[in-house]
Structure 1
Amino acid sequence: MATVIVGLCVGSIFALMACSIVVVHRGTHLVNFAQGEIAALGVFFYIQWVVLDGGRPVVAIVAGILIVGVLGLLFGIIAGRMARTGDHLVPLISSFGLFLATRSITVGVWGPGEPYQIPPLFGGDGWQLGGELIPFSYLFVLGVSVVCAGGLYAVARFTTVGLRIRALVENRDAAEVMGIPTARLQLATWFVGTALAAVATFLFFQNNYVVTGSIDSVLIPAFAIAAVGGFEHFGAVVLASAVYGVGSQLMSQYLTFAGNDVLSLVILVVLLFLMPRGILVAKSARYSS
């Protein structure tokens, strides 16, 4: 049981990262491959302010998330202008360039002092379950993820902003005719999606050493999970993340062959071959035309 709970906690990080990808894609129909690297900048800002300079942790976390959101917004402005050319490959390729540039900056500035460690917010204590210890930091990760995912669902389902974004997803031209500020909504999705990726990155590094490039271990499975959800269905993303997190933990505990850490990712890829449109979205209006 403890392994399953830890798996759900770990899976919730992938769910948040995948949801951040879905948020951007739903609002813009674009995918930002530099999203993980931009999000990692928030963590390195925290390291610079708190670990190296002795600043306040809470202020640094909030500031880091906001900075990442603004950086995502700025790239969204540039990507939006590129997309107006009619070729969506241009912003896609640009995101690869941004990925490489951001990686080079982090390696050049913070690489020499690696590895870093973010102090756990709840110390080293935990919850005893069946003779096993579940760290409070993992439970904190799960709690934050549930709150963020619940907030996303509530906004998308029950608010005017969510309704307008759904209209934007279905037909941008029709949404503009109805007077919906589509350009502002798209920029909002860039900010929210990238800031959400920053939250996922902070949660991931709270229980891992901070090393430049290690965010790839979250981003790559998150893209596969987002694809399983058709880059649009939050419920499918959460379900796939839970399966991936629990499966990874069970395999790491009971399987000892080399490469077992990527077996869960292979399962996701196979699922994409079987259901290329994603689970729970096969009858979506977006794919029925």
Structure 2
Amino acid sequence: MEVFLMQLFNGISVSSILLLAALGLAITFGLMGVINMAHGEFIMTGAYTAYVVQNLFQAALPAGMLDWYCPAAIILSFLTAAVLGYVLERLVICRLYGRTVDSLLVTWGISLILQQAARSIFGSPNVGVKAPSFLEKSLRITGMLSLPYKRLFILVIAVVCLVGVYLLMYKTRQGRNIRAVMQNRDMAASLGVNTRRIDSMTFAIGSGLAGLAGCALTWIGAIGPTLGTNYIVDTFMTVVVGGAGSIVGSVFGAGFIGVGGTAFEFLTNASIGKVLIFLCVIILLQFRPKGIFAISSRALEE
């Protein structure tokens, strides 16, 4: 039972990372109808930003103050990925609305360019980021069951971001405009909503959340130029299962993929577990092709 509970916690931890990556993708996909294959590279951007911030703090501050890189890395990972997403949206993505196949090919090309840029700057070998000392310990529940502080901290970040996105979408004027554009772009524009600004801002926020996911990933494993490709498929499955544009759907999809995949791997092995979770997704989409919590949006209607 203790081993099972530990695996369940690991699944929830994976779900929290998927949720961070999928929140932004769910909103931008529901808003713009663009299949962004470069979303994983925003995760990579956030991870490498945390790596650079750590190195700068190591070079500039005494060893006892190294832990202060953590809040700086979290903020800068979000901002760096958000700025990159904003620039890409203004230069490239804005020309791909309504062109699903073209968006798939172009963003895949962008992902390859960003991966090669990372190899040129940081090299091909994986690099590591040392977690702050206060995250190195574990919360011991029983003799065998202990919860690493690193994964608990990632879970807290995911919950904070989830609450933030909810407040943005449902408690602010900007969020109301986003939901209006998702439901009926032409009507929103006729009522004075600047749809271009909404697109750019939303894409930047979604990219920033992916950067946060990348920062979180640095504390549980090595990072490299292909980091994003390891998570992009699961992130898209999270969005598709939950429903594009739905916050509740993103939470459900992240739990379904993260906890379900971990449970299958625990009961079988890594390869068969992956096959089984894909099979469950296929079966689910046969009955709910728009996702469990699908909402009316331009992307789904088209």
Q: Same fold (TM over 0.5)?
A: yes
Match of 2:198 in 1: 185
1:103 is aligned to 2:103: no
1:211 is aligned to 2:224: yes
1:79 is aligned to 2:92: yes
Match of 1:123 in 2: 135
Distance 2:242 2:221 in 1: 27
Residue 34 (structure 2) aligned to one of 13, 18, 30: 30
1:155-174 alignment to 2 at 5 Å?
Answer: 155-174=168-187
Query: 1:80: how far off?
Result: 4.7
What per-residue deviation string (whole Å, max 9, x for no partner) do you get for residues 107-147 of structure 1?
233234x2222212333211122431110111111111011
Query: 1:278: how far off?
Result: 0.8
Q: Identify which range, 131-140 or 43-52, moves more after superposition.
A: 43-52
Distance 1:81 1:241 in 2: 28
Distance 2:265 2:103 in 1: 37
- Contact 1:38 1:102 (C-alpha < 8 Å) held by counterparts: no
Query: 1:88: how far off?
Result: 4.4
* TM-score calculated relative to the size of structure 2: 0.85
Distance 1:285 1:10 in 2: 28
Aligned length: 286
What's the C-alpha RMSD, in Å, of the aligned pairs? 2.4
Q: 1:64 to 1:144 in 2, by over 3 A?
A: closer
Query: 1:253: how far off?
Result: 2.8
Distance 1:285 1:211 in 2: 35
Structure 1 gap segments, 5+ residues each = none
Distance 2:282 2:216 in 1: 25
Query: 1:52: how far off?
Result: 7.4
Query: 1:167: how far off?
Result: 0.9
1:256 is aligned to 2:260: no
Q: 1:82 to 1:196 in 2, by over 3 A?
A: same
Q: 1:237 to 1:61 in 2, by over 3 A?
A: closer
Distance 2:50 2:253 in 1: 30
The code of the aligned residue for 2:131 comes to P
Distance 1:259 1:220 in 2: 17
What per-residue deviation string (whole Å, max 9, x for no partner) do you get for residues 131-189 of structure 1?
31110111111111011011111221222111111111112121111111111111100
Distance 2:46 2:15 in 1: 21
Distance 2:159 2:174 in 1: 21
- Contact 1:68 1:194 (C-alpha < 8 Å) held by counterparts: yes
Q: Secondary structure at the match of 1:142?
A: helix
- Contact 1:33 1:96 (C-alpha < 8 Å) held by counterparts: yes
Query: 1:104: how far off?
Result: 1.1
Query: 1:258: how far off?
Result: 4.1
- Contact 2:21 2:43 (C-alpha < 8 Å) held by counterparts: no
- Contact 1:225 1:268 (C-alpha < 8 Å) held by counterparts: no
Query: 1:40: how far off?
Result: 0.8
* TM-score calculated relative to the size of structure 1: 0.89
Distance 1:265 1:132 in 2: 29
Match of 2:11 in 1: 7
Distance 1:150 1:3 in 2: 26
The code of the aligned residue for 1:207 comes to I
Q: Identify which range, 53-62 or 138-147, moves more after superposition.
A: 53-62
Distance 1:15 1:254 in 2: 24
The code of the aligned residue for 2:177 comes to R
Report % sequence identity.
23
Query: 1:246: how far off?
Result: 1.7
Q: 1:79 to 1:230 in 2, by over 3 A?
A: farther
